Amino acid sequence: MKDPYRQWLRPLIFNRFKLDPERLHRQVIGPLAWLGQPGATQQLAQAWAQQQFCLADQRLVQSCWGLTFSNPMGLAAGFDKDGEAALAWSWLGFGFAELGTVTRWAQPGNPPPRLFRLVEDEAVLNRMGFNNQGSAALADRLAQIWAVQRPPIPIGINLGKSKATELAAAAEDYRASFQQLRPYGDYFVVNVSSPNTPGLRSLQAADHLDPILATLQAENHDQKPLLVKIAPDLSWAEIDAVIDLVTAHRLAGIIATNTTIAREGLKTRLLPSTGQPIEAEPGGISGAPLRQRSTQVIHHIYQRTQGHLPIIGVGGIFTATDAWEKITAGACLLQAYTGWIYEGPWMVKRLLQGLLTQLEQHQCHSITEAVGLATSLVHSRFWPWGGLPGSAPTVLWLAMSICSDSGLAARGLLAAKPGAEPVLLCPAILWFICPSCNG
């Protein structure tokens, strides 16, 4: 079946009419909120959506923090900031959804225009600035929705710092939001990595992050899973410092990663709506340009924690191959936002079908078996072939380990199917000797 979104709708939205992305986003939220409501007409729409967009298979089920995820693909924070469509996301095939980012105080965010498509790069530039109705309004809305029906999938809530709150008072700001929303979220995320609130990223530094995490855990009487979302632009030493704090405060995991402020390698040179060079435009970039770096960060966290800390991988997931690379790098769950915008509502089902194909090809019985597969091999926790150093498999293995993380999926294939090494030997040698081949 042809995908009507990719074939007809996306060209019209992105290229022909070039519809304003923020305005279109607001128009989409209304029908999605309607889809999740009870009612005879909604039931017909829900049945159609389930047939079109959903895929159930026991091999895709993930268990984490005492929660069951019907599949590992979730909606990232930023799309449903105020929880208006909280009941709709399961009908679109997602295994979980993350609401927010929400702040203690309602705030309008940064002035528009603040959301831009970079179509040539399959990316989005945003400088929204945590526009939302505030944690009290979200708590009231979820209380009303949950009283009638709680979503069948886990719901996370992403917490940010209010722009009006001084950095020194950030811990109390996060605590107040958490206190109001604690009954309604299945897990919570401390967002200290958005580039669009002045000074926010400085809260990733250990001396600033430590009191925030301590304050939240002191308030966490129900032992709700708490995660921290980090920026892709941190150095390895800075990421290690965050990992140490997460471990010390017994947080549930890390989300890797938020948007990037890097501009290297972009095809887009000028932002058409402003006429300014892309390097001069503030904001964070999501989508395909983030793909490789976010996978590298996932790989590093998994390696550093020996696979004991759950990781939600996000950044540049458009296809099953993208998802598989992040899973085998160490992510136990995934999230998409920009990829979903570009690929459309059929993306999740198509991606899940592709993951099942990957499981079969790698002789894995579940997603759980694939988590960290490539990273584990790089660490030589087991050696996929016998033989002495200097044998063809050994040389191939070393070559692929030296190459960038784009080779993670191939390394996973070689581990699960040792007989595949002759097939992959030629491209692996090209990777090794030709930097231009090493994407």
Which amino acid would we find at residue 316? G
- Could you tell me if 87 and 164 lie in one domain? yes
Predicted model pTM: 0.86
Average pLDDT taken over every residue of the chain: 89
Domain with 428 in it: 384-437
- Could you tell me if 130 and 150 lie in one domain? yes
Q: Which residue, of 353, 373, 393, is where some domain finishes? A: 373
157 - beta bridge partners? 99, 188
Contact 191, 159 (CB under 8 A): yes
In which band, very low, low, confident or very high, does the pLDDT at 1 lie, cut at 50, 70 and 90?
A: low
Q: Is 255 left (phi over 0), alpha (psi -120 to 50) or beta?
A: beta
- Could you tell me if 398 and 287 lie in one domain? no
- Could you tell me if 417 and 305 lie in one domain? no
- Could you tell me if 294 and 428 lie in one domain? no
Residue 112 has pLDDT above 60, yes or no: yes
- Could you tell me if 265 and 134 lie in one domain? yes
Residue 378 lies in a domain: no
Residue 417 has pLDDT above 50, yes or no: no
HEC profile of 375-392: HHHHCCCCCCCCCCCCCH
Give the mean pLDDT of 147-168: 97
pLDDT tens, position by position, 70-87: 999 999 999 999 999 999
| Count of domains forming the chain | 2
Region of poorest pLDDT, from 14-28, 250-264, 321-335, 373-387 = 373-387
Residue 255 lies in a domain: yes
Structure tokens at 324: 């598989």
- Could you tell me if 116 and 61 lie in one domain? yes
- Could you tell me if 94 and 207 lie in one domain? yes
Residue 67 lies in a domain: yes
Residue 86 lies in a domain: yes
Give the mean pLDDT of 413-423: 39
Q: Which residue, of 373, 398, 417, is where some domain finishes? A: 373
pLDDT tens, position by position, 367-402: 999 999 997 665 543 334 333 333 344 344 344 444
pLDDT at 376: 67
Residue 99 lies in a domain: yes
- Could you tell me if 208 and 162 lie in one domain? yes
pLDDT tens, position by position, 53-73: 999 999 999 999 999 999 999
Give the mean pLDDT of 304-330: 98
- Could you tell me if 365 and 396 lie in one domain? no
Residue 409 has pLDDT above 50, yes or no: no
Q: Which residue, of 373, 394, 426, is where some domain finishes? A: 373
Residue 130 lies in a domain: yes
Residue 437 has pLDDT above 50, yes or no: no
Higher confidence at residue 107 or residue 409?
Answer: 107
pLDDT at 378: 56
Catalytic (active-site) positions: 194
Residue 379 lies in a domain: no
Q: For the domain that residue 220 is a member of, what is the CATH number?
A: 3.20.20.70
Structure tokens at 246: 């997460």
- Could you tell me if 367 and 429 lie in one domain? no
- Could you tell me if 207 and 81 lie in one domain? yes
Residue 204 lies in a domain: yes
